[in-house]
Chain A
């Protein structure tokens, strides 16, 4: 399939020309694969107490890549970013206080 017709420039949600190109997507994909393999390898290193933090940190990085470049939060309007941040923030809030209760119980 050859797109000989006009290759219209991609637009960011705010109307300006997008800075996220197909090239960005390919790099993001490569980064995601590498991070997945790193995480998989790290799980065999027996990191002890660091096992979970490392795994979650890599997962957070991967989700950031997906969010910023696949879901184009990188150049999203502020209201859409706000919604994304609010979702994450409130999950953390619920998690923190509930876990705090379990950890601190009986102390």
Chain B
């Protein structure tokens, strides 16, 4: 058996100084996972505090800091880099038959930039006790007594990490595809990562600039958004959301890519329409840029902008609907095998549609006036961010676990924890919709006693969700050592990353990548061609023995 990327060199230095996109992906995965753990613990602390209408164990100031910690860590340190930087890094070159990304050193640099940014952010949050929430709105953030500065700086650094990663991926997709792999043959996950990278490269600099202006305001009192000096705080929001709304698509597009992969693999069917998904991906990436204003309906923006942005936001729903129908159409009459990733896909479809529909509701200006800054909005974006992105992330974790580690996770425990995530999630956030509609504002740690039953339900749900995630963490760590050996392709998927050994060799493919069969081609002829080729190459290369399935 030839050495895999994990065993080729076991020293610590070989990891620290690696250029291998797979190792960099794994390191991103570990760092993102730590961020998820941290952000999750803060969420549990908040939900515990909200059990009672009056203060349970923390002051309102502590609560303000907690929701800032939770928001900043989850958005900037986990959601935005999670699927692109971890799985994108690992899978993208495998999926296009490249030996590595275009600029491996730059790739390693963006890992370290992320690490530095994350440390600065977390230290800043804790030491400076930031309490502005993750949006850093002026004028409060400019005048805030507690230190916003290190956090701004940390997020600024992380921004550069995502720009460099995005740049690397764009160049990789354009210039590193294997011979004969045309654009319209690339795996759908690659398309979504590509769309995401465009957003990262073109939107993040605007955020970087905005945060820089805010920082300069703190250092030197320049007051560029200060109304007393002729500034306009709403312009801060324009610039902030020009990045941060597309950032929602940075979070959801790769998730959609994961779903596309899992749907085809576990129904053993070609996607109902490859083109529809590709064009919907491109459409979301572009229209996503033109809907930032719907975060600002109540901030005093013009009626014209509100109308235009409301309309554009609804276009996003059309593209998303195209995807959802294509996925369900693919599943229909497929040869379904209900494994953990597919169960997460089902959870995604249900929760994402629900979250999306409430999104259309809040994009309607008149309705938004009622729901702005209430738990309704909180529940809405958690349906997309957690119900959408986190479930897709977990689907990706389980789907690619055998590819990355070479081992299987325990399937029954996987199904159990997936169910726990789904029901725990519903129990957490459905009550929040109701609370928001009744008028419960976000970011308050006290509330009228009448709201208590719904808050208790929500907290109970958070604990179910948390336990399911801890269970997942437990059995995944266990599987690293004791899991069944997976073999090259335990899911019998047609997609390209499965056509090499698990875990893959350092340069991804032994010899020329076998791309004669399409990524989603499950026809009988294709399977037979594949089998004949496998027999040939088995004799020639003798890869590790197939195990785990018949």
Contacts and interface: CB of A to CB of B under 8 A. Distances in A.
Contact of B305 (A90, A93, A101): A101
B202 A101 contact: no
Interface of A is mostly: helix
B304 A104 contact: yes
B206 A94 contact: yes
B286 to A, nearest CB: 9
A7 interface: no
A92 B346 CA distance: 40
A97 B305 contact: yes
Interface in B185-239: 198, 202-203, 206, 232, 234-235, 238-239
A86 B198 contact: yes
A104 B202 contact: no
Contacts of A90: 202-203, 289
Nearest to A107: B302
B301 interface: yes
A87 B205 CA distance: 11
Contacts of B379: none
B12 interface: no
A100 B304 contact: yes
A93 B302 contact: no
B174 A79 contact: yes
A79 B174 CA distance: 8
Interface string B290-315: 10110000001111110011000000
A26 interface: no
Nearest to A77: B174
B interface residue count range (under 10 / 10 to 19 / 20 to 34 / 35 or more): 20 to 34
A97 B302 contact: no
Given A79-B174, A94-B242, A97-B308, A105 B290 contact: no
Interface in B257-295: 289-290, 292-293
A98 interface: yes
Contact of A101 (B203, B290, B301): B301
Interface in A57-107: 79, 86-87, 90, 93-94, 97-98, 100-107
Contacts of B300: 105
Nearest to B173: A79
Contact of A107 (B175, B239, B303): B303
B293 A101 contact: yes
Interface string A10-29: 00000000000000000000
A105 B301 contact: yes
Nearest to B206: A94
A98 B238 contact: yes
Contacts of A98: 235, 238-239, 242
B16 to A, nearest CB: 32
Contacts of B202: 86-87, 90
14 contacts: A86-B198, A87-B202, A97-B238, A97-B290, A97-B293, A98-B242, A100-B305, A101-B234, A101-B302, A102-B232, A104-B302, A104-B304, A107-B303, A107-B304
Interface of B: 174-175, 198, 202-203, 206, 232, 234-235, 238-239, 242, 289-290, 292-293, 300-305, 308-309
Interface of A: 79, 86-87, 90, 93-94, 97-98, 100-107
7 A-B pairs closest in CB distance: A104-B302, A104-B304, A105-B302, A101-B305, A98-B238, A90-B202, A79-B174
